[in-house]
Structure 1
Amino acid sequence: MRILILSFLLPFLFVSCSSVSYQKIDKAKATKQWGVLEVKETARSMSHSLSTYYKSDLKTGYLEWKAIQNSTSEHIDTKLISNEILNQLTKDKVPFVDTSIREEASAEMAFGKTGMVSAESRLAVGKFKSPSHKIKGEINEVVNYESGSRIQYITVTLFLVSLETNQIVWSEQTNFLKTSRVEGYGL
């Protein structure tokens, strides 16, 4: 009987002991690992700089995103950074294309030509847009240990490359210098 009662109450104890709280993102504090502060600052500075460049210098063309390369010792979700930047640039009306879905779109257009799709919802052929520029990026770091502290210099760099000329036409860098206490240093 005790086992039956314990097996019934045990899950409730674990659930009731856990708690979650949400914070305002702009009030996030620095952490030892790559976190909210770094993601938000990177997205804010990069999207603002690229949006300004596009609207003042480039003015036309479609951009495409290439995955950011993480060359640091930390696990950094580069897709999260990319999505934050792309979201802001899209809000700023900077046009993007996603060539990774061309095959699916082509198959849907071919299916539309079979006559099995209504004329008003059929995808039109010949409306794909080609990217004129590609955005690529890297995250790099230098780590030093001094007097029980870990000093980490992180750089996030984005480049905008013309596909027509292979010329880098824009670049921006966001830098972070993080110092954290190392537990057990010198033991």
Structure 2
Amino acid sequence: MQKTFLFLLFSFFIVSCSTATSYTKPENVKATKQWGVVEVKETVKSMSHSLSVYYKTELKTGYFEWSPLQNSTSEHIDTKLITNEILNQLTKDKVPFVDTSVRADATKEIAFGKTGMVSSDSRLAVGKFKSPSHQIKGEINEVVNYESGNKIQYITVTLFLVSLETNQIVWSEQTNFLKKSRVEGYGF
């Protein structure tokens, strides 16, 4: 009897201390009090579709470059995650991008190739860089109010496409979220 009790107590201890991890599809995740999967997925879906359509119907040529998104909210938001997901979707939609941050490394490699120490079949050619014609910029902003124990948060994600040649904003899109969540300990 005592051995059975100790076994059950030990089993309970092991089970209660173990951690379980599970995965779910991002489409099935529910909204949370913090910025999360729901907001990222909705932003990526609306922004990438709108920008892809604009590129294919209006611009039809040129290369895009990203400028880091600015997070002006009180929440920690991984703006690089949003950028990467939009970039990934637009690349799948055949919208062309350039990454000017690799120019210095590429320039060094081209110079090294000219030394004769690199075989001609893998040497980088001079004059092949592409310049961005447009830059994507963006901001995440919020307005927060507290009413009757609830936090009401209006969040906007805005992207702009700016022509580098004219500095004109040629496209803009916004995704909005109105989140209402109960605040613990409100009124104390």
TM-score where L is the length of structure 1:
0.92
For 1:114, give the aligned amino acid.
Answer: T
Q: Flag the 1:104–1:18 CA change in 2: closer, same or farther, 3 A.
A: same
- Unpaired stretches in structure 2, ≥5 consecutive residues: 1-13
- Unpaired stretches in structure 1, ≥5 consecutive residues: 1-12
Q: Partners of 1:24 and 1:91 in 2: how far apart?
A: 21
Residues matched between the structures, number: 177
For 1:110, give the aligned amino acid.
Answer: A
Q: Partners of 2:15 and 2:87 in 1: how far apart?
A: 39
- SS of alignment partner, residue 137 of structure 1: strand
> Which residue number corresponds to residue 184 of structure 2?
183
Aligned residues with identical type, % of pairs: 79
Q: How does 1:17-166 map to 2 (within 5 A)?
A: 17-166=18-167
Q: RMSD of aligned C-alpha atoms?
A: 1.6
Residue 37 of structure 1 and its aligned partner are, at CA, apart by: 0.4
Q: Partners of 2:175 and 2:145 in 1: how far apart?
A: 19
> Which residue number corresponds to residue 6 of structure 1?
none
Q: Partners of 1:71 and 1:51 in 2: how far apart?
A: 26
Q: Flag the 1:15–1:167 CA change in 2: closer, same or farther, 3 A.
A: farther
Q: Partners of 2:51 and 2:154 in 1: how far apart?
A: 23
- SS of alignment partner, residue 87 of structure 1: helix
For 1:81, give the aligned amino acid.
Answer: I
Q: Partners of 1:147 and 1:127 in 2: how far apart?
A: 61
For 1:141, give the aligned amino acid.
Answer: E
For 2:22, give the aligned amino acid.
Answer: S
Q: Partners of 1:115 and 1:14 in 2: how far apart?
A: 65
